[in-house]
Structure 1
C-alpha cells in the first residue's frame, strides 16, 4: 500500500518558480504544458521517439466569434486568460476564464484542460472541459492546431545529456490534415468530436490524443488517459509501499518531504526496451539527461532509492557496472556507455551497494566485482603517492575557473572510504577480500589527505597540481572529505566554523563556493561555483552534520531548503541560495538527487541508521522548531514508526528505546 495518493502529491502551479515549462511524465512519455496557456502543449519525448518542437494549440469558436488561447499581457490581451492549475504526477490540470461582450452578447466561459502523457505508447491526451457561464445557449467549436515539428526516432544509445534536436519537418499525410509523416515516424491527431451545443449553464468535454511513432495509436483518448493514471497508481503502490509517511508541525517540512519523493518518482522509466525496468534517469522529463549517471543514481539517496526499487536496485547497480567506468560516467537507456571517466563513480556505486546490503542483502560475488571495479578506477587515475591525481574538471566538478582539480581531498577521501567499506562488506558476506590490506590502504590515504593537502593556517584543504602549484578553493565538496573520514576533530572544527551566514550559508540554501573565496566564487554556474548549489548537495551536507552529532548546525542547513517544497513541483538540478529561484533555462528541469532531501530527513533528522548486516539503529534527533513523525517504514519485513517529539520508536506495534539495536 502506498504511503501517499496521487492527489496528496498534487502541487498548486501558482506557487511555482520552476526554471522552465512544466513537464509531466507517465514513465513512458513526457510532455510539456505551454507556459501561459490553458490548453497549449509543446514538446514530447517517449524514447526512442522525440518530438521536441511539436505543438498543439487550441482555439475556440463561439457562435462565430474566435477566441485564442494564451492572451498577451495588458488590455490588448483578449483571448482565454490563464488562471492557474494543478500538477499531479500523472497529469497537469490548467484552468482559465473568458468573460467579454461580443456585439452586445456576454460570452462567459470557464475552460479547464487535463494533459495526460500516454503509457505504453508515445503521445498524450488533452481533455478540454468548457462551462458556458452565460445566459444564452451557444454552439462551440474546438479548433485544434497541431504542428508536429520535426519528430524523429532516436536510438536509445543516443539519449544522453542534451535533449534530442528536431529532425526534418514532418509533412501532411492525409486529406483531413490530421496525420503527418517524417521518415518512418508518424504523428496522428485523433478526437472524439469538435462541435457541441452547450446550453446556458451547461458543460461539455472534448477529448483529443496525439500519437507519435511508427504505427497508428489505438484506444479512445479518455480511456488512454484513465489507463495512464491507473499505471501511476500502481507505481505509487509499488515504489512507496515501504517509504514512510511524514507528518510534522514544522512549517514547510511535509511539503518538502513530498516534493523530494516526487523528484525521485519522475525519474523512473518503465519502457521494457530499456536495460532495466524501472530505469533510473538522472533527469529526463525534458528529454535531457535521460541517462543513468553513477554519481547521482547511487551517491545522493541510496536508501530512499532502495526503498523505492526493492530488488530492482540490484539490477540498476549491475547495469551501470557493466559499462567500462574507466571511460564512461553514465549509461544510455540501452546500457551504452556515455561521457568520460568520472572521479566519483566508484564511490557512488559502492554507496548504493551498502544500501543494498542493508535492505536486501548482497552476494559475495557482487562485493568482489565491486572491489575489482574500484581497483580498475584507481588505476585509471595517476598515482601521487597514496593519493590519486583525478585530472581536470573534465573528470571532476566542471567549475569554470581553475581549482579543485588534480590531487584533491575529495574524492581521495571517498576512495579511502570505499576501501574501508569494501572490507566491511567482505566481512558481512564472506567475500574473502584482503580486508587487512584494504583497511591499511584506507588509513594511508586518510593520513596523506591531512598531511599533504591540509593547510593549517587557512583551516582548509588545498588542491595540488602536477607542477606543484596549489589552489585553496572554499568549496562545499570539502565537507564530503570530512564526511568520508579525512578530518581529525581539529580539522573538522575549523571547517565547521565556515558554515555561517555570509560564507557557505545563505537565506535559501548553501553555496557551492563560499562568497569569501574571491578567486573562485561566481554566479554563472550555480551548480558548483557559487550563488547556489546542486540540489543534492545541501541536504547531503545537513545529513553529514547529523551523522557527526551536529544536530543544531544540521538543522540550520536543512531549514534553509524547505522553501523548495512550496515552489517546485519537483526539484531542479540546481537552485539559487540567495533568493528562492532556479536558473531560468538550461539542462536543469529535474534531478533524481532531489531524493537527497528525504534521505537527509530519514537517516539524519529521524536518526535511522541502516546497518550493513540488516540491523537497524534508530536515534531520533531533537529538532529546534518542532517535531516529526514517520509512519510505515518497511525494513526486512518489519514496520517501523518514529517520533522525534517523543523520542519513541515502534516496531510492529512494540515500542523500543531510542538507540536500541533491532535485528
Structure 2
C-alpha cells in the first residue's frame, strides 16, 4: 500500500520546536507565525526571497472588527488560536471567537489552510468561517499585507544563513508592490459573504512573488500544489518500506524521520539537480547540499527515495573543488571550506548507489581521484592525517577533538577499503592491493598512536606534541569504521551509560562526565545533546557490532521525537524533550538517519556494493517491528524482527542468506 499525505499528519499542539512552523511545496517554503490562526510570515522560493513579508487577516462581522493572533491572557480579545495540523505541503490552523457585543453573541469557528505554491513563488491561504450563532451575519475579510523587502538572490548565494530582506517594496497598485525587478501581488476571491446561522463561508487569497506573476485563482493554485505533493510523495516513497510496530512511539518516529528527508527535497528545474537535496532549507537557511550529511547519515534511505537520480546528486557534489568547499549552492557553486569528512561521505553515498543501481568504472575512478586529492589537502602525520582545527572538523567551542584524531582517520581507512571493493564490482582499474594495505596501516597507527589504554579512550595529537582526551561521540565512528580491537571496543562501550554519554532523551555529543569539554551552549557537538543524525547512527553502529540490546537502549531514547516534531531539527537536547531555542536548527536531512538505523540495523537489511542483499533481523526488546514493501533491484522484501521472518517476492528465505 503506498504512503499517503495524511499518514504524516502532525498535531501542532504537541510541537516543541522553538521556532515557527514551516511548510514547503518543494518549490516555495513559508511559515506560520505562532499563535496566529490565519497569519503568514516570510517565504523563500529560490531565487526569490521575501524574508520579512507578512500577511495578517482581520474579520469584520456586522461592523465589529476581530483581529487575529490575540496575545495570551485575559486581555486577548481577538481571534483565539486553538491548534492545528501540519502535513507535507500544507498547514491547517483553527481558532475560535465567542463573545457578546451589545447583548448579541458573535460565535465563529475559523479554519485556515496555508499552502506554499508549486511552480512559482508564493502561497495560497484559504479561510473557512463557520457561524455558530443563531442569527445570520455578514463577514468581510480584510487582508493586511506587508511585502517587506523582497528580492532576487542568485542561486549561487543560497548558503547557510537565510537571505535577508532588500529595499522596502513600494506600492504599484491596490494589491501590487514592486522592489526592483521583483513583483509581489495579492490576489483574492470574494472578500465579503453572507453566512447564515450554522452556515459556512470559504474565502481564498494568494500572494505571488516573482519577476512576473502567473495566472490562476487561489483555490486552483492550492489544489495544484497539493496534487504535486501527492506525486512527489508517491515517487519518493515508492520503494521505501512501511513500518508497523507494537512498540509505543516507533511508528511515529519512523514517519517523522521520513518527513525529515521529504522536506529537504526541492524540485526547481533551475537547480543543478532535480530533486535537489538541501541540508535544511525550510526556513531559507542551509538551502545548500552539504556532502557530509547528504551522503553520510542515511545513504540507503536517500537512495531509495531518489532512485536513479541519486547518481546525479552524487556527481553534482563531486563537481565542486572539495579541497576548498564542503557544500554546493542550488546552482552547484561551491560554499564553505574544506571539510574533513567530505570524501568519506561521498564514498558512503557511492557505495549505496552501487548496491541499489550499479556504478560505472569511470565514476569510481573519478571518486578515487577526488578522495586522494582531498586526502592530500590535509597535512601528513606519518600514515595519519592532521585535519586541522575546528574550522575543518566538528566546530566544538573548546579545544579538543582537533588535528590528528581517530575519526576521520578511521573513515580514511574505510574509504580505501570501500574504493577497492567498488573497483572490483565496477571494473575500475584502481590499485586495489595498495588501497587495502594503506587502510591496514592507518588502522594500526590509530590503535598504536592515538589509543590511551589506561584511559580506555582515544587521544588527539597536536602539532606541538600536546595531547587532548575528549570523550566525544565521534570516537564511536572509529569503532564503526574498523579501527578498534575487541579490547578497545569493550572499553568504549562501557562509556555508554547514564550520566556519561546517555541521557533520558538521547545521547550527548560530549560525555557529561567530561569536565573539561562538556557544556550546554552548543548541543550540536559540545554536549547536552547531539546533532540529530548522530544518535541513531550510534545505534546503527551498535547493531553492526552485534550489540542489539545496547543499540536499542540508545534508539528507544529518541522515540519521543516522532510525537513532538513534524520534522526533525538539526539538534536536540538529551536531558529534556526539546530543541535549542535559537540558531539555524529548523530541520535537517540527517533526520533520515533514524529510518536508516531501523532498516539496516534493527531489521538487519545489509545492502552489498555488488547488488546482493543479506537480511539478519535483530530481536528488539519490548516488542517487534515489521517492514513491508522494501523495493530492491526488482525484488520486494518484507522483514519481521519478532519472528525473524524474511520474505522475498512472497517466498520465505533464511535469515543471513545472500539474496540476489
TM-score (norm 2): 1.00
Which residue matches 2:329? 332
Q: Indicate if the aligned counterparts of 1:245 and 1:630 stay in contact, CA closer than 8 A.
A: yes
Which residue matches 1:475? 472
Q: What's the RMSD between the two structures over aligned residues?
A: 0.6
Q: Deviations over 1:87-140 (max 9, x none)?
A: 000100000000000010000000000000000000000000000000111111
Which residue matches 2:381? 384
Per the alignment, in what secondary structure is the counterpart of residue 70 of structure 1?
coil
Which residue matches 1:207? 204
Per the alignment, in what secondary structure is the counterpart of residue 31 of structure 1?
strand
1:65 matched to 2:64: yes
Q: Deviations over 1:317-368 (max 9, x none)?
A: 0000000000000000000000000000000000000000100000111111
Bigger drift between 213-222 and 203-212 goes to 213-222
1:301 matched to 2:298: yes
Which residue matches 1:246? 243
Q: 1:351 aligns with which of 325, 348, 355?
A: 348
Query: Matches of 1:369 and 1:216 in 2, distance apart?
Result: 43
Q: Deviations over 1:295-314 (max 9, x none)?
A: 00000000000000000000
Give the Å deviation of 1:391: 0.4
Query: Matches of 2:314 and 2:124 in 1, distance apart?
Result: 34
TM-score (norm 1): 0.99
1:657 matched to 2:657: no
Query: Matches of 1:108 and 1:297 in 2, distance apart?
Result: 50
Which residue matches 2:38? 39
Give the Å deviation of 1:19: 2.5
Q: 2:597 aligns with which of 587, 597, 600?
A: 600
Give the Å deviation of 1:34: 0.9
Give the Å deviation of 1:585: 2.0
Query: Matches of 1:649 and 1:444 in 2, distance apart?
Result: 38
Which residue matches 1:145? 144
Query: Matches of 1:531 and 1:216 in 2, distance apart?
Result: 47
Q: 1:279 aligns with which of 276, 281, 292?
A: 276
Per the alignment, in what secondary structure is the counterpart of residue 53 of structure 2?
strand
1:25 matched to 2:31: no
Give the Å deviation of 1:661: 1.1
1:443 matched to 2:446: no
Query: Matches of 1:656 and 1:211 in 2, distance apart?
Result: 54
Which residue matches 2:15? 16
Gaps of 5+ in 1: none
Give the Å deviation of 1:261: 0.3
Q: Indicate if the aligned counterparts of 1:243 and 1:632 stay in contact, CA closer than 8 A.
A: yes
Q: 1:431 aligns with which of 420, 428, 431?
A: 428
Query: Matches of 2:572 and 2:215 in 1, distance apart?
Result: 41
Query: Matches of 2:430 and 2:18 in 1, distance apart?
Result: 47
Which residue matches 1:230? 227
Q: How does 1:214-225 map to 2 (within 5 A)?
A: 214-225=211-222
Q: 2:503 aligns with which of 502, 506, 525?
A: 506
Matched pairs, number: 660
Q: How does 1:113-128 map to 2 (within 5 A)?
A: 113-128=112-127
Query: Matches of 1:19 and 1:404 in 2, distance apart?
Result: 29
Give the Å deviation of 1:216: 2.0
Q: Indicate if the aligned counterparts of 1:3 and 1:243 stay in contact, CA closer than 8 A.
A: no
Query: Matches of 2:631 and 2:114 in 1, distance apart?
Result: 34
Q: How does 1:574-589 map to 2 (within 5 A)?
A: 574-589=571-586
Give the Å deviation of 1:430: 1.4
Q: Deviations over 1:149-202 (max 9, x none)?
A: 00000000000000000100101111x2x1101111010000001100111111
Give the Å deviation of 1:428: 1.2
Query: Matches of 2:148 and 2:516 in 1, distance apart?
Result: 45
1:407 matched to 2:416: no
Which residue matches 1:518? 515
1:371 matched to 2:349: no
Give the Å deviation of 1:240: 0.4
Q: Indicate if the aligned counterparts of 1:19 and 1:588 stay in contact, CA closer than 8 A.
A: no
Per the alignment, in what secondary structure is the counterpart of residue 100 of structure 2?
strand
Query: Matches of 2:647 and 2:313 in 1, distance apart?
Result: 32
Give the Å deviation of 1:74: 1.1
Give the Å deviation of 1:3: 3.1
Query: Matches of 2:456 and 2:540 in 1, distance apart?
Result: 22
Query: Matches of 1:642 and 1:198 in 2, distance apart?
Result: 54
Query: Matches of 1:59 and 1:438 in 2, distance apart?
Result: 68
1:616 matched to 2:613: yes
Q: Indicate if the aligned counterparts of 1:19 and 1:572 stay in contact, CA closer than 8 A.
A: no
Which residue matches 1:256? 253
1:487 matched to 2:493: no
Which residue matches 1:648? 645
1:112 matched to 2:121: no
Q: 2:624 aligns with which of 621, 627, 634?
A: 627
Which residue matches 2:158? 159
Q: Indicate if the aligned counterparts of 1:3 and 1:244 stay in contact, CA closer than 8 A.
A: no
